[in-house]
């Protein structure tokens, strides 16, 4: 048996695996990740967050400029560079375990670089703001669901996104299969977001995540949505956007120095042991 915890950020939920020195799970197989995320035969989750010291990772490009590394895996076992909701839950766990001090900014290493977390409350309460870094705005592309097609904007938040504005969030129907996309634009797959405007500075979205299917929320996706909307609106920098998702609300700002700040909740709901 080995320990796990369960947590979520706006109902994007994760299985956390404490593995500080990397000796519990070794390479952490895709098969184990799938078993853990299985909502019937396993614990259930949109992904796995392995909690490992950066010094124990040994992956190229994972710098030593943060003590902890978030080893993120999608529910299908695939690796992604970054998870916005996940990094807030990751930080909540570190603070609750007394492994970091929530009174000061907390750097977390990821495959998309170091993200710095700022806690509004203490270790166990209050929202968390993540400096998500610089958004890369790339080309116009398209996504297809069934017979429908929409133009979309390719935004890179460390992971790939296609943001499509729709008239009604139901237009995309039951997002059971991955929306079609141009493999030349997204050779490693893509997270697809459908957005409607609610009011100035206020949008609502649904998301089909690469490697996890439709989820209740996607932090990097909400950032990509905010960037696409702010560009379309011609919004000034430092304009705060409210992004409503099926699982909750995130607040996102594109700062004057071009960084994306995302603020939202993070909760650890359970802990246990498993031999999955």
Q: Which residues are catalytic?
A: 83, 218
Q: Given the complex with ligand API, which of 94 and 250 has the nearer CB atom? A: 250
Q: Is the Cβ–Cβ distance between 81 and 70 less than 8 Å?
A: no
Give dist(CA 66, CA 91) in Å, integer: 12
- x/- map, 166-205, ligand API, by CB under 6 A: -------------------------x--------------
Q: How far is the CB of 160 from ligand API (least distance, A)?
A: 7
Closest CA to 49 of 5, 10, 11, 9: 5
Does 247 interact with ligand API (rule: CB under 6 A)? no
Residues with Cβ within 8 Å of residue 67, at least 6 apart in sequence: 53, 54, 100, 107
Q: Are 206 and 172 in contact (CB under 8 A)?
A: yes
The binding track of 85-104 with respect to ligand API, each residue x by CB under 6 A or -, is xx------------------
Tokens encoding 30: 């895709």
Taking CB under 6 A as the binding criterion, the range among 83-91, 92-100, 226-234, 235-243 that sits at the site for ligand API is 83-91
**Which range of residues in 53-61, 174-182, 212-220, 229-237 is near ligand API by CB under 6 A?**
212-220
Among 264, 268, 215, 267, residue whose Cα is nearest residue 243: 264
Task: Give φ, ψ of 66 to 5 degrees.
Answer: -155, 140
Q: Which of 55, 111, 52, 117 is nearest to 83 (CA)?
A: 111
User: Is 216 assigned to a binding site?
Assistant: no
Instruction: Write out the E strands in 93-235.
Output: 106-110, 113-119, 128-134, 136-145, 148-156, 160-165, 180-181, 191-199, 202-209, 213-215
Euclidean distance between the first and the last CA atom of the chain, given in angstroms as a whole number: 8
Query: Annotation-wise, does 191 bind a ligand?
Result: yes
Does the protein bind ligand API through residue 219 (CB under 6 A)? Answer: yes
Query: What is the DSSP code (8-state) at residue 167?
Result: S
Residue closer to ligand API, measured from CB, 82 or 123? 82
Q: Does 212 bind ligand API (CB under 6 A)?
A: yes
Q: The tokens of 172 are what?
A: 């995309």
> Which CB sits closer to ligand API, 9 or 256?
9
19 near ligand API, rule: CB under 6 A: no
Q: Is 110 one of the binding residues for ligand API (CB under 6 A)?
A: no
Structure-derived torsion over alpha carbons of residues 129, 132, 137, 141, reported in degrees to the nearest 10: -80
What character string, x for contact with ligand API (CB under 6 A) and - otherwise, covers 63-82? -----------x-----x--
Q: Least distance (Å) from ligand API to the CB of residue 229?
A: 17
Of the pair 10, 54, the CB lying nearest ligand API is at 10
| In the block, residue with structure tokens 């997002």 | 175
Binding residues: 12, 74, 84-85, 159, 191, 209-210, 219-220
Binding residues for substrate: 12, 74, 84-85, 159, 191, 209-210, 219-220
The footprint of ligand API (CB under 6 A) covers 12, 46, 74, 80, 83-86, 159, 191, 209-212, 218-220
């Amino acid at each position: 048996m080995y320990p796990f915890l369960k947590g979520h950020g706006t109902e994007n939920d994760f299985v956390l695996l404490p593995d500080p020195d990397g000796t519990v799970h070794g390479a952490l197989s895709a098969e184990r990740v799938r078993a853990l995320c299985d909502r019937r035969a396993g614990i259930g989750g949109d992904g796995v967050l392995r909690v490992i010291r950066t010094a124990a990772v040994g992956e190229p490009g994972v710098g030593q400029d943060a003590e902890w590394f978030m080893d993120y895996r999608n529910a299908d076992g695939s690796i992604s560079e970054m998870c916005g909701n996940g990094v807030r839950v990751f930080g909540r766990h570190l603070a609750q375990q007394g492994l970091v001090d929530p009174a000061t900014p907390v750097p977390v290493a990821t495959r998309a670089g170091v993200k710095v977390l700022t806690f509004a409350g203490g270790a166990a309460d209050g929202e968390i703001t993540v400096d998500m870094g610089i958004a890369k705005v790339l080309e116009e592309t398209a996504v297809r669901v069934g017979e429908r097609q929409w133009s979309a904007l390719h935004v890179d938040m460390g992971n790939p996104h296609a943001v499509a504005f729709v008239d009604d969030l139901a237009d995309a129907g039951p997002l059971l299969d991955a929306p079609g996309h141009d493999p030349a634009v997204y050779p490693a797959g893509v997270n697809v977001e459908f957005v409607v405007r609610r009011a100035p500075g206020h949008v609502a979205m649904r998301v089909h995540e690469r490697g996890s299917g439709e989820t209740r929320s996607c932090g990097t996706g909400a950032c990509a949505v905010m960037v696409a909307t702010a560009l379309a609106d011609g919004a000034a920098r430092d304009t705060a956007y409210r992004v409503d998702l099926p699982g909750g609300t995130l607040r996102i700002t594109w700062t004057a120095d071009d960084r994306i700040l995302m603020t939202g909740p993070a909760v650890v709901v359970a802990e246990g042991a498993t031999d999955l």
